[in-house]
Amino acid sequence: MAEPGLPAPVFPAPALPAELIAVRHGQSTANVLFDRARATGTPAVLPPGADPLVPLTPLGREQAAGLGRWLAGTVPDAVVVSPYVRARQTWEAMADAAERLGCRPPPPVLDERLRDREMGVFEGHDAHAIRDRDPGEALRREQAGEWTYRPPGGESLPDVAARVRALLRDPAAVPPGRRVLLVAHDAVVVALRHVLGGETPARPWPVPNASVSRWVADGGGVLRRVEFGARPGA
């Protein structure tokens, strides 16, 4: 759905894609764990080093297959995917569903710049677990605000935006004049909206699982947001 009254994008680039599409991965096992923890008010923690290995749930695979049916009518020229398992599985299910409909999408390229936000010493911790482990750090996070907060050893959202900006300026990753599909994470999609539109939220915008956000070149050298967090067919 188109969004009227959008701010003028401010990202300067000598050669932009004709269309940029960002997909958040389908529902993951960590999403289910953290949603349950939030509903019950109990802490949730993944095993150390597990975040990049978190897979999709059966529902997440169904969501990704649904995106594949959408993909068959919106074939990209290039596909760039986060190396995290949940993003790779999302693309694989999308591509399989599209191929069953006679569409042959291009092979994906994995790019570390699309990885999820790194939370440092709090990797795999939900908000309750961070408060339990380090109440002082939880207070610092609240005072700083989620946009600027950088956990010890981790990234702030502006840090994520910096690597997203570097990706967009790389013509080998994002070829000029083409339709480019990115399959990544909510933090990456939020960072894209900031980089391309100059918007800085008080709190990060919600990005649903298996959602599509889209920017289209307007002919004047800028990419304009036309969809954000949309669920095709939902």
Q: Region of 221 please: left (phi>0), alpha (psi -120 to 50) or beta.
A: left
Residue 5's pLDDT is 41
Question: What domains lie within the chain, and their CATH numbers?
Answer: 19-29+56-118+154-230 (3.40.50.1240)
The two structure tokens encoding residue 61? 């695979």
pLDDT in tens, 108-128: 999 999 999 999 999 999 999
Q: Span 69-78, mean pLDDT?
A: 95
Q: Which residue has the higher pLDDT, 6 or 214?
A: 214
How sure is the predictor about 6, in pLDDT bands with cuts at 50, 70 and 90?
A: very low
| Alpha-carbon 52 to chain mean position | 14
Rounded distance between C-alpha atoms, residue 45 and residue 51, angstroms: 10
How sure is the predictor about 219, in pLDDT bands with cuts at 50, 70 and 90?
A: confident
The two structure tokens encoding residue 191? 């960072």
Nearest to 191 by CA among 4, 20, 40, 65: 20
CA angle, residues 151, 142, 11, in degrees to nearest 5: 65
Q: Span 162-187, mean pLDDT?
A: 97
Q: Span 204-226, mean pLDDT?
A: 93
Nearest to 183 by CA among 88, 107, 98: 88
Residue 13's pLDDT is 61
Residue 38's pLDDT is 92
Q: Residue 30 pLDDT more than 90?
A: yes
